Each structure stands twice: as C-alpha cells, then as structure tokens.
Amino acid sequence: MSYGVKDHNAELMWFVYGYPKPKMTYYFDDMIIESGGRFDQSYTRNGQATLFINKMLDRDVGWYEAVATNEHGEARQRVRLEIAEHPRFLKRPDETFIMARKNGRIEAKLVGIPLPEVHWFKDWKPIAESSRIKISSYDPDIYVLSIHDSIIKDGGLYSISARNVAGSISTSVTVHIEENEDQYIYKTYGRHPYVRSKQLRYQDKYDIGDELGRGTQGITYHA
C-alpha cells in the first residue's frame, strides 16, 4: 500500500533489473497510462522506476501496475495508491494530578491514514520506557502513557506527537505530583471519585467500658 496527499504531487516507485534494460509500461486500473499531462515517469541506471502523479486527486485512488519487458520476458507488480489523511486528535490529554507513590496515566485519542507514528516527550525530551513508565496503545485510536509508583520528579510538561506522510500534530499537558492528600482531593474534586480510608480506631472516638456480652458476630461493650 502506498499513500499520497491530496492536491500534492505523489509518486510510486519500483526497482527493476534486467539486461537488456527493460522497457517500462504503467497501468491504472488495467488501463495504460500515457506520459504527459498529469503523469510522468523515470527509470534510472540503478534500476529505480518511478511514476509521478501531478497534484493527486480523489480519482487517482486505485491499483497501479508496473510492467517491465525485454527480449527475455516480462515482469509485473501491482500496488494500491490511497489518499493519506492528516493526523488529528479525537481527544487531547487532560491536565493530570497524581498522588505521590500512586499510579496515574495520560490518555489521548488520535487517528490518521496511514496509522501515525506516535512519540511521547517530557519537558521536550523523548521518553524511554522503564519499570515505572510504560507506553501503550489500544486499537483503534487510544494512546496511553502510564506512570507507576509516582515520584515528585515525574511532574512536568508531557507532550504527544503523531506523524504520517500527510503531516504531523502535537499537544502538551502538565502533570502534577501531589504529596499532600488534602490538596490532591481538592484539585481533583469532580474529576473522579476518591475515597480516603479512615485511620482512627473506634477506641479513639469512644470511652470503652465493661464487656456486656459476646455473640457469634462480635462483642458488646458499654460505651
């Protein structure tokens, strides 16, 4: 599969070898292509045969075939040409708060044709995976950066970029690592549910008196 960008010049390339040097003929959807107009061709001494399409249009999508012939025979190869689509975000990542020593993630949704090549950065430097930092993707369009057992230095500016033959896009978001639990709850209020476990024992709230009785499910005290 090959891709071209609409309203831009496109080219299809083959490598063809033979002696005597083969003659090249090209077909589009089984119809011969005549040089001139919007089509041109070249065949270099190193065997590179190229078909050029001037300002690709929707009607240029389809199957192209290169046919090489000389006095010894013939060789053919077909390739399909499609229109590439610029990468675009369906959902940009949100500003993210992560409680220190807990896990968090940054998520984006993006599409493009062909499938874009995606890279993550922190403070403009490429991110390498580690035991704590994981990069993953899920079909068809979800890209995730996961941070495990977060530490303060994980905070910063995170960027995601996507590139294909049609172009590139990028966006950035700030990640905050919070050490203070109350501040974390305040800053993430309404973003997602958070339940803080109680740390007090019942003895800290009540004056416990004499034991009144025991049962199969517990003990009753005077309080």
Provide mean pLDDT across the span 132-150.
96
Go through 58-68 and write b for each residue having 16 or more CB atoms within 10 A of its CB, e for each that does not: eebeeebbbbb
Please, which residues bridge with residue 146 across strands? Answer: 105, 134
Report the percentage of the chain scoring pLDDT > 70: 87
- The reply to whether 173 and 148 lie within a common domain is yes
Most confident of 75-84, 188-197, 214-223: 75-84
- The reply to whether 38 and 95 lie within a common domain is no
Tell which of 41, 63, 83 closes a domain. Answer: 83
Structural domain that includes position 122: 86-187
Helix (H, G, I), strand (E, B) or coil at 217: coil
- CATH number of the structural domain spanning residue 153: 2.60.40.10
**Is 97 a residue whose pLDDT tops 70?**
yes
Instruction: Convert the pLDDT of each residue in 163-199 to its tens digit.
Output: 999 999 999 999 999 998 888 888 887 555 445 555 5
Cis preceding-peptide flag for 93 (omega within 30 of 0): no
Give the model's pLDDT for residue 191: 58
Provide mean pLDDT across the span 78-90.
98
Residue that the structure tokens 């390739």 belong to: 79
Give the model's pLDDT for residue 39: 96
Q: What CA–CA distance (Å, rounded) separates 135 from 32?
A: 47
- The reply to whether 56 and 100 lie within a common domain is no
- The reply to whether 66 and 95 lie within a common domain is no
Mean pLDDT rounded to a whole number for the chain: 91
Give the model's pLDDT for residue 185: 87
Q: How far is CA 136 from CA 111, 117, 119, 179, in A?
A: 15, 13, 11, 27
